[in-house]
Structures are given as structure tokens and as C-alpha cells.
A and B are shown apart, each in its own frame.
Chain A
Amino acid sequence: MKFTDVYLQTATKILVFIIMTFSIYVLFAGHNNPGGGFIGGLITASALVLLYIAFDLQTVQEVFPVDYKKLAATGVLVSVLTGVGSLVLGVPFLSQTFKYVELPFLGNTELTTAMIFDLGVYMCVVGTTMTIITSISEDDI
């Protein structure tokens, strides 16, 4: 099925970037404010779904060649390995720590290990959601 809806495609090209940016914002906001890896991941997935609706499966796969199953697995690995880090240090599993660091452009920023965990969740959610959606939509009847 070839979609040629010009409005949708043109709007998508702009909207995807806005949605993606927002999802990254939500991901980073998640430590002390509403947001986090799960919601950020879902928002990213919705951007990708929009791409799939506007263009077809093959085109998006060419532009964005990611194996979603592997992305999800990487996400879980990242999350669990953050916990394993605390095993190495001899503190209880999943212990977290944070530090305020002076970064260029950003100023005084709070860096936490929970952020890495959230990043894993983010990747896992994007991977899982997209695996579900692409595997349902691959059959066309």
C-alpha cells in the first residue's frame, strides 16, 4: 500500500522532530518531575508510528535501520547493568547516587545513575512497542 497523502507527509516531517524533542525532554525531566523513561519511550514510539503511517514500512526501515528486538534487549541490559554496578561496589543492588557537575552550556547539572537506568527503560519501551506494532502491521490483508 503506497501512501501519497502530501499533507500528512509534510506535516509528519516537522512533527516527528517536535515529538522526538519533547520525548527527550520528558525523559530527562523524569528524575524529580513527572516524566521518565516509560513515557518518553512511548512518545518516541508514537513519533515512529506517525512515520510509519505517513510513509510505508520499507521506507522507514531504510531511513531508520534499527532492529527493535535488539533495541529492547539493549535497553534491559543497560538497566540491569546499572544495578550490577552497585554489586561491584558492594552496596545493595539498584543503589543510586547523584552529583552536581558544572557542564559547558548547561551550567550546574544534576547527574544521577538513575538516569542511566531510565535510559535503559526508554530504549526497552521504544523497542517493545515498535516490535509489537511492526509485527502486527507486517501482514497486509
Chain B
Amino acid sequence: MAAVLECAHLKKQYGSTVALKGISLSLPEGKIIGLLGPNGSGKTTLIKLASGLLLPTSGEIKVCSFKPGIESKKLVSYLPEKNFLDLGKKVNNQIAFMADFYSDFDKNKANEMLERLGIDPTKKLKELSKGNREKVQLILVMSRNAKLYLLDEPIGGVDPAARDYILETIISNYCENSTVLISTHLIADVESVLNEFIFIQEGEILMHESADKVHAKGKTVDAMFREVFRC
């Protein structure tokens, strides 16, 4: 199975702080993978490196064999933890923006999802509730037919009903040959959708395992996380 994301001895340092300590990783296509770890473990740094927002201090990271750059950015759909949209823009203008820059953006898919949620695309983002703004962000990201979806804490700070909607959107919108990397510490909520999981702590990969294998042993990923990261 072809690797969608590959890291070899990937290291990232901010001044004297080492965020990633030379990790090596290979993520296959067609999987939903949880990037799990406590705060400050290096999850966001890894995602930022994969999205091309940061450059590694040393080592290598590749998306579908491309180093971070224009070609890799065409293949990556990234949902950061932040509100990255211009609140003064109308929702339909934001859709037009995405469609202009990403050839894999599916306008119909985006409009269908907005309609299902009852979000008026002619409204400005600032006129929407915080929850709906976050949903619009997710819709924009999941309306792309990308090879790699990077979702940084997509369910952090939202109510349980919204969590269900987000996870359902992720499952029903990613393609078979795409990979979804979800960074979160709310493991119990995402456990049911994960094919694989990665435990990361202090910039090092502690475990990269199939979720099914854990379940076959009668365990849960959540229980395992608590075991590994016990304070």
C-alpha cells in the first residue's frame, strides 16, 4: 500500500526547545488515523510540517513522495485548530475562494452539506454562531477530494452533538484512497472511527498500531492511552 505521509528522522526545534525528536513514520492510504498525545507532545508541530507551514530542522517529510511545497499543498486538506477564515466574508465567497485555488474542491458537495445544516451561504461568517463557523470550516476542508486530510483537534471545544456531526462528516466525505490524520486528546469520541492510532509524547512516537488489534485483545484505545500516559 502506497504511503501518503512519510517521515524519516524528522526533527523540529524552536530555539532550544525540541518539539519533534527525529521521528520516522509511514502512513498508508485509505485509513483514518488518530494522532494521540497529551498537550505539548508535538501533534500540532507534525501536522504543521505536513501542511508545509513549517520546515523541518532536519530529517525529511513527504506527502505522496512530494516534499512540502506547491505539489504537496495541492494534495493536503488542512483543518487547523484556529478560526482561519475571514469573518467579514460571505460563506459563498469563501466557497468560491476554495474552488478557485483547489481543483479538487467540490462546490456541490459543500453546498449540499451547508443545506443539510441549514446554513445560509449568503450570510457573512461573523453572522453565524461559533458552532456553525466551525462547521463551515470543516465543510470547506472535507469538500476537497484530497489525498491527505490533516485535522487538528476538530472536536475540541464543541458539544457532543456537534462532535457526532463532525465525525460523521469526516467518515462520509473522505475517499477510499485518502488518509485522514486526526489529532486529538478526546480519544473516546474518535475511537469508533479510527483504523490506526499513533501515540506521541515529548516529540517521540511511542506506539503506531492498528485499532483493530487493540480491540481484538479486548482493550480500547482510550484505556490504552490512559495506561501509557498515566501521570
Q: Do A and B bind each other?
A: no
